Amino acid sequence: MSINMSGHSGVSMSRMNDRLSVILQGDVAPEMLSVLSTDMLEYIQINRITLVIFDISAIAILDLTEFNALHRIVLMAKLMGAQTIFTGFNSGMVAFLISAGADISGINTASGLDDIDRVLSSLKGD
């Protein structure tokens, strides 16, 4: 099921059972992240979402401010009871974020979409 995110391009959300997939594309603008947090948190609450998967593989550049905004969204989702997993970090993005001193605590990652269930199992302690 595809979800309209207040008509904002650059983000698409789709739901499968209790999982919400959020695909980010193009430029990650502050207003897009603001709309994403509002729409996503409301959707988590209404639909009892327990896992949010962020796919950022279509983003070429992610600066520290944008990453910090995504990190805040992750913390908000966690407070609402949803686990979060990112997929699609590229090597340049990772190198930049680490060298810039990004706080990566609470950021769960998977090497690809096919690795999500393994990461989820490790988060649950299975």
Listed by start position, the domains of the chain span 2-124
pLDDT at res. 29: 87
pTM for the full predicted model: 0.88
Per residue of the chain (126 residues), give pLDDT as tens. Answer: 545 555 556 889 999 999 999 999 988 888 889 999 999 999 999 999 999 999 999 998 899 999 999 999 999 999 999 999 999 999 999 999 999 999 999 899 998 888 888 888 888 775
| Domain 2-124 fold | Transcription Regulator spoIIAA (3.30.750)
86 CB-side CA count, 13 A: 20
pLDDT at res. 61: 87
Q: How far apart are CA 24 and CA 69, in angstroms?
A: 13
Q: Tokens at residue 43, please? A: 């959707």
pLDDT at res. 49: 96
Q: Which of 16, 82, 5 is nearest to 108 (CA)?
A: 82
Strands (E) in 5-82, as ranges, are 11-16, 19-25, 51-58
